Structure 1
Amino acid sequence: MLPQEHLIARVVDLCRADERFDAVLRYGSFAQGSGDEHSDIEFWFFSEEEIDAREWCSRIAPVTHHVRNEFGADVVFFQGLVRGEFHFAADVAVVGEWPARGATVDDMVVVDRRGALRAVLESVPLRPDLPEAGELCGRFVNWLVLAHHVTARGEVLRAADAMAHVRRHLLWMARLAERSTEHWLTPSRLAEAELPPALLASVDVTAPSAAWRVGRALWVRLGCPVPTVLFAELDAALS
């Protein structure tokens, strides 16, 4: 067994024995059956009582560090650089706001003392709804024009940040063009295995001009209506 699998088994035993939890679910790679030695362990815990996250997580295994991340999740590091992401909340209704669950309900439910968790999970689609191709292309060009302007202004770090969004949208456009949408919410996940090497290499760009060449071709390939004036301006600015 992987170290993560031992930790997951320990979490399952602990939370099933802890009557404070009304419901517990696991998500991510191991719930999906694709976890490996590099994967996180990921859980949501639901309780109306206040839970000391660090103290509770230290029951799983020795914790080398704990931090509350920018999304409100408690992230702990176990020995061997195993990362655990744990969300503590009061109401299972928050799960109903997810764009997708990514795994079967049976593989996600760990504790469901009132039956509410299963009902909410079953209301969430397995896979996310995909945006219209034209909407996706528009989002790409939104970030591209920003990257162009801040690059011209000499804001190197801001340009790099904008280009990260540009590349992510190029990956989404590439996945849509290739009909490879299994890992839509995180388009870089397993991209090396799921996209043609030449196409993947083409979206790994750092300059707005290169991104426009790739994005322009994908825009046309996706069959989206072409805004001719905008295309002409971008061709002139980024040639």
Structure 2
Amino acid sequence: MLPQEHLIARVRELCHADENLVAALTYGSFAQGEGDAHSDVEFWLFFATDHARALDHRGWLDRVGPIRYMVLNEFGTHVVFFPNLIRGEFHFATADDIGSVETWPARSAPTDRMIVLDRTGALRRALDALPAQPELPTSAEDVDELCGRFANWLTLAHHVAQRGELLRAVDALSHAQRYLLWMARLADGRTGYWLTPSRRVETDLGAEVVRNLRHTVTVAEADAVARAVAAAWVCGRDYWARLADRVGCELPRELFAELDSVTATA
């Protein structure tokens, strides 16, 4: 067994033994049957509302295994670093929050694989109400919005690079790349990892696609950033045109011409 699998088994044991825990679920690679030595362990824990207010989060997690460090991330999730740099994500919530699961974009795995504990049946009902896959942008309006967001970040990357803010340009370009990955996945019909579009790109998308996308990654040097912006536009232009043709979306020809112009010399 992988160390992560031992941790998952220990969390399951603790969940079933904790009478104050109403429900718990796991998600991510192991729930999907794709966990490996580099995967995280990830859980939502729904405690009785009265108990949740006084819960010692660190104390609960200390019982899972030895902790090297713990931090509350920017999304309110407790991130734990176990030995060998294994990451654990633990969302502490209340039983009243179980209903909010129905607002998620999709299940990340089959319901039975996600449920760790469900004392009332409410968690199963919430998970079963979710689609197995997230809704994809299929209308002309959806595609136009997706591609437009790519253009927004790419144009920002171009301008701040011209100003000499190369680190900011790299940051903006990373946002453009995320939308570019969504465009690539949608255009090629490879939408299985839609919620995390960079996941398994090297094996999930074709070799030529991966090779082209790698040219959009850069270091914070003026010439390199310019080349990456140009490479991103070459890819994005193609995907945008393909998607627009598929859904009957009108291309912004004047914007295309201006981006063609500023990237032509890179």
* TM-score category, normalised to shorter length: over 0.9
Please identify runs of 4+ aligned residues in structure 1 that moved more than 6 A. none
When structure 1 is superposed on structure 2, of 218-227 and 103-112 the one drifting more is 218-227
Task: Provide the rounded CA distance (Å) in 2 between the counterparts of 1:180 and 1:115.
Answer: 34
Q: TM-score, normalised by structure 1?
A: 0.96
Runs of 5+ consecutive residues of structure 1 not aligned to the other structure: none
- Give the counterpart letter for 1:148 in structure 2: H
Tell me which residue corresponds to 1:20.
Answer: 20
Q: How does 1:124-163 map to 2 (within 5 A)?
A: 124-131=130-137, 132-163=142-173
- Give the counterpart letter for 2:124 in structure 1: R
Deviations 1:95-154 (A, max 9, x none): 122111110111111111111111111111111111233322111111111111111111
Alpha-carbon RMSD across the aligned residues, in angstroms, is 1.2
The answer to whether 1:6 aligns with 2:6 is yes
Tell me which residue corresponds to 1:189.
Answer: 199
Cα displacement (A) at 1:63: 0.9
- Select 2:91's aligned residue among 57, 81, 87: 87
Tell me which residue corresponds to 1:172.
Answer: 182
Q: How does 1:95-134 map to 2 (within 5 A)?
A: 95-131=101-137, 132-134=142-144
Task: Provide the rounded CA distance (Å) in 2 between the counterparts of 1:139 and 1:115.
Answer: 40
Task: Provide the rounded CA distance (Å) in 1 between the counterparts of 2:22 and 2:185.
Answer: 39
Task: Provide the rounded CA distance (Å) in 2 between the counterparts of 1:59 and 1:52.
Answer: 11
Aligned residues: 239
Task: Provide the rounded CA distance (Å) in 2 between the counterparts of 1:78 and 1:210.
Answer: 39
Runs of 5+ consecutive residues of structure 2 not aligned to the other structure: 219-227
Cα displacement (A) at 1:221: 2.2
Task: Provide the rounded CA distance (Å) in 1 between the counterparts of 2:66 and 2:240.
Answer: 50
Tell me which residue corresponds to 2:74.
Answer: 70
Task: Provide the rounded CA distance (Å) in 2 between the counterparts of 1:80 and 1:233.
Answer: 49
Task: Provide the rounded CA distance (Å) in 2 between the counterparts of 1:217 and 1:85.
Answer: 38
Deviations 1:6-59 (A, max 9, x none): 111110011111011111111111111111111111000011123211111110
Task: Provide the rounded CA distance (Å) in 2 between the counterparts of 1:157 and 1:100.
Answer: 34
Task: Provide the rounded CA distance (Å) in 2 between the counterparts of 1:233 and 1:182.
Answer: 34
Task: Provide the rounded CA distance (Å) in 2 between the counterparts of 1:157 and 1:96.
Answer: 39
